[in-house]
Amino acid sequence: MDLKETLVKLVSQSRERFSPYNLLYEQLVHLPFNRPIYVLAIGTAAYQMTEAVLYHATQEPFVRIKECLVVTHYGNVKAPLANTTTLEANHLVPDENSLKAADAVIDFLQKRLYEDTLLILLSGGGTALMEKPVEGVTLAEFNDKIESLIRNGADLETVDSERKHLSEVKGGKLLQH
Least confident of 6-10, 39-43, 77-81: 6-10
**C-alpha distances out from residue 36 to 30, 33, 42, 93, 162, Å:** 14, 9, 20, 35, 37
pLDDT in tens, 99-123: 999 999 999 999 999 889 999 999 9
Which residues are registered as beta bridge partners of 120?
40
How far is Cα 162 from Cα 102, in angstroms, rounded to an integer?
18
- Name the DSSP letter for residue 79: S
Instruction: Report which secondary-structure segment, H or E, holds 87.
Output: strand 84-89
Choose between 171 and 17: higher pLDDT. 171
> What does pTM read for this prediction?
0.84
Reply yes or no on whether the pLDDT at 76 is more than 90.
Answer: yes
Question: Which of the four pLDDT bands, split at 50, 70 and 90, describes residue 10?
Answer: confident
Question: Which of the four pLDDT bands, split at 50, 70 and 90, describes residue 146?
Answer: confident
Strand order across the 84-89 sheet:
84-89, 64-73, 36-42, 117-122
Q: Give Dmax over CA atoms of the chain in angstroms.
A: 63
Note whether 55 and 21 are within 8 A (CB): yes
- Name the DSSP letter for residue 42: E
| Residue 86: strand, helix, or coil | strand
Mean pLDDT of the chain: 88
Question: Which of the four pLDDT bands, split at 50, 70 and 90, describes residue 18?
Answer: low
Question: Which of the four pLDDT bands, split at 50, 70 and 90, describes residue 27?
Answer: confident
Choose between 23 and 84: higher pLDDT. 84
Q: What pLDDT sits at residue 69?
A: 98
